Chains A and B, each alone.
Chain A
Amino acid sequence: MPSTIVTEEIELIHSDKGPGGGGFSVGGGDGGDSGDSSGATRVPQRAYITGMLIALAGILMFFMAFVSAYIVRKDMPNSAWIPLQVPRILWLNTLILVVSSFTLARAHSRFSARDDEGFGHWWATTTFLGVLFVAGQILAWRQLAAQGIFLASNPSSSFFYVFTGAHGLHLLGGILALLYVQFRATRKVTRGTAIEVVSMYWHFMDGLWVFLFLLLYLGR
Chain B
Amino acid sequence: MSSHAHTGGSTVHAPMAEPSGFIRKYIFSVDHKVIGIQYFLLALTAVVVGIVLSLLMRFHLVWPNATLPFVSGGQMSQEQYLALVTMHGTIMVFFVLTTAPQGGFGNYFLPIQIGAPDMAFPRLNMLSFWVTFLAFVCIIAAFVVPGGAPISGWTGYTPLSGLGEITGPGEGWGQTMWIVSISLFCLASLLGALNFIATTIDLRAPGMSLLRMPLTVWGWFVTAILGLLAFGILLAGGILLLLDRSAGTSFFIPAGLVVNDQLQAHSGGSPILWQHLFWFFGHPEVYIAILPGMGVASHVLSTFARKPVYGYRAMAYAICAIGFLGFMVWGHHMFVSGMSPYSGFAFSVLTMSIGVPSAIKTFNWLGTLWGGKIQFKTPMLFALGFVSLFVSGGLSGLFLAQPAVDNMLHATYYVVAHFHLVMGVAAIFGIFAATYFWFPKMFGRMMSEPLGKIHFWFTFVGAYCIFMPMHFIGIAGGIRRYADASAVGFLAHLQPVHEFMTIAAFITGAAQLFFLFNFFYSLKFGPKASTNPWNATTLEWDTDSPPPIDNFGGHYPSVYRGPYEFSVPGAVDDFIPQWLEPSQVARVK
* Contact surface of A with B, Cβ cutoff 8 Å: 20, 22-24, 26-27, 38-39, 42-44, 46-47, 50-51, 54-55, 57-59, 61-66, 68-69, 72-73, 76, 78-81, 151-152, 155, 158, 162, 166
Check if B11 is an interface residue, CB within 8 A of chain A.
yes
Are B204 and A23 in contact, with the CB atoms below 8 A?
A: yes
**Given the interface contacts A42-B118, A151-B247, does A62 sit within 8 Å of B235 by beta carbon?**
yes
* CB-defined contacts of A59 to chain B, threshold 8 Å: 232
Top 6 closest pairs, chain A to chain B, by CB? A65-B236, A62-B232, A80-B268, A152-B248, A47-B202, A80-B267
Check if B144 is an interface residue, CB within 8 A of chain A.
no
Interface residue from B204, B268, B273 paired with A81 (Cβ < 8 Å): B268
Check if B323 is an interface residue, CB within 8 A of chain A.
no
Are A46 and B202 in contact, with the CB atoms below 8 A?
A: yes
**Given the interface contacts A43-B203, A51-B121, A61-B233, does A69 sit within 8 Å of B277 by beta carbon?**
yes
Check if B339 is an interface residue, CB within 8 A of chain A.
no
**Given the interface contacts A24-B202, A42-B118, A58-B229, does A78 sit within 8 Å of B236 by beta carbon?**
no
A61 to B327, CA, bound (A): 12
Are B232 and A73 in contact, with the CB atoms below 8 A?
A: no
Among B487-523, those with CB < 8 Å from A are none
* CB-defined contacts of A81 to chain B, threshold 8 Å: 268
Nearest B residue to A55 by beta-carbon distance? B194
Check if B250 is an interface residue, CB within 8 A of chain A.
yes
A76 to B122, CA, bound (A): 45
A166 to B238, CA, bound (A): 13
Among B50-79, those with CB < 8 Å from A are none
Check if B36 is an interface residue, CB within 8 A of chain A.
no
**Interface size bucket, B side?**
35 or more
A22 to B10, CA, bound (A): 12
**Given the interface contacts A42-B118, A58-B190, A155-B250, does A76 sit within 8 Å of B268 by beta carbon?**
yes
Are A66 and B236 in contact, with the CB atoms below 8 A?
A: yes
A143 to B300, CA, bound (A): 63
Shortest Cβ distance from residue B200 to the other chain A in the assembled complex, whole angstroms: 10
Shortest Cβ distance from residue B429 to the other chain A in the assembled complex, whole angstroms: 30
* CB-defined contacts of B197 to chain A, threshold 8 Å: 50, 54
A155 to B255, CA, bound (A): 12
Are B232 and A24 in contact, with the CB atoms below 8 A?
A: no
Q: List 8 extra interface pairs beyond A24-B202, A65-B280, A69-B237, CB under 8 A.
A: A22-B206, A23-B556, A26-B11, A43-B202, A58-B232, A80-B255, A155-B249, A155-B267
Shortest Cβ distance from residue A15 to the other chain B in the assembled complex, whole angstroms: 13
* CB-defined contacts of B235 to chain A, threshold 8 Å: 62, 65
Shortest Cβ distance from residue A164 to the other chain B in the assembled complex, whole angstroms: 14
Are B203 and A54 in contact, with the CB atoms below 8 A?
A: no
Nearest A residue to B208 by beta-carbon distance? A23
Are B273 and A69 in contact, with the CB atoms below 8 A?
A: yes
Are B198 and A51 in contact, with the CB atoms below 8 A?
A: yes
Check if B14 is an interface residue, CB within 8 A of chain A.
yes
Nearest A residue to B272 by beta-carbon distance? A72
Shortest Cβ distance from residue B148 to the other chain A in the assembled complex, whole angstroms: 28
Are B249 and A61 in contact, with the CB atoms below 8 A?
A: no
Shortest Cβ distance from residue A43 to the other chain B in the assembled complex, whole angstroms: 5
* CB-defined contacts of A38 to chain B, threshold 8 Å: 16, 19, 30, 122
* CB-defined contacts of B276 to chain A, threshold 8 Å: 68, 72
Are A158 and B251 in contact, with the CB atoms below 8 A?
A: yes
